[in-house]
Amino acid sequence: MTGDGAAGDPSARSRRATGAIVLGGGRATRLGGADKAAVLVDGIPLVDHVYAAVAGCEPVLAIGPPTLARDGITVLREEPPLGGPAAGAVTGIRALPASVTEVWLLACDLPRARGLVAMLAGVPIPPGADGVIALDADGRRQWLAGRHRAEALRRAAEPLGDAAGRSMRALLGGLVLHEVPAGETTFDLDTWEAIAEHEGRRGR
């Protein structure tokens, strides 16, 4: 977004200050090693549901293979490749421009990402908190379903050094996160059975 109109639009400025990091699926062992992000769900690749949810963010960084590439998406590879979710997240965090103040951190396998992002976007990060994070229907934190202060993520990433093999809990567990019950919007698809069930429900 460029030009005087965007510069004078507070909502446009807010979108520019918010980036997004989308983790592209790793080894997907529960899918037999398939490219999870490319699996068709509701007629489009799974990752495109997530891209649609963060449309307007700048930048949108996708961590994973070249198949994640789309117009307006910057694809990065975690080091080492397939080094795990924390390694992917840290790769994205370290690539964020200094101008970014808040960051979405999302998995690629969220078919209801638009509803999830819309819900969390309406929840300001409270004073003294580092971010907002979704709770699933069972009340569990979904580490790859949240929006965070960029500076807090940078601080969290620094002590990890080489994050290969580390968990998202290791990266984010020390942050002060405001929990938001998000119910079925956190539903993810990480097995063929879950994908078939989801598609079956859509066809009814």
Alpha carbon distance 28, 156 (integer Å): 26
Phi-psi region of 187 (alpha: psi -120 to 50; beta: other; left: phi over 0): beta
pLDDT of residue 15: 46
Q: What is the pLDDT of residues 31-89, one digit of tens each?
A: 555 678 888 888 899 999 999 999 999 999 999 999 999 999 999 998 778 888 999 99
pLDDT of residue 2: 32
Q: How far is CA 11 from the centre of its chain?
A: 21
Alpha carbon distance 79, 162 (integer Å): 8
What domains lie within the chain, and their CATH numbers? Answer: 4-202 (3.90.550.10)
Q: Which residues contact 79 (CB under 8 A, 6 or more apart)?
A: 87, 91, 164
Number of neighbours of residue 166 by Cβ within 10 angstroms = 18
Q: What is the pLDDT of residues 116-167, one digit of tens each?
A: 999 999 999 999 999 999 999 999 999 999 999 999 999 999 988 888 889 9
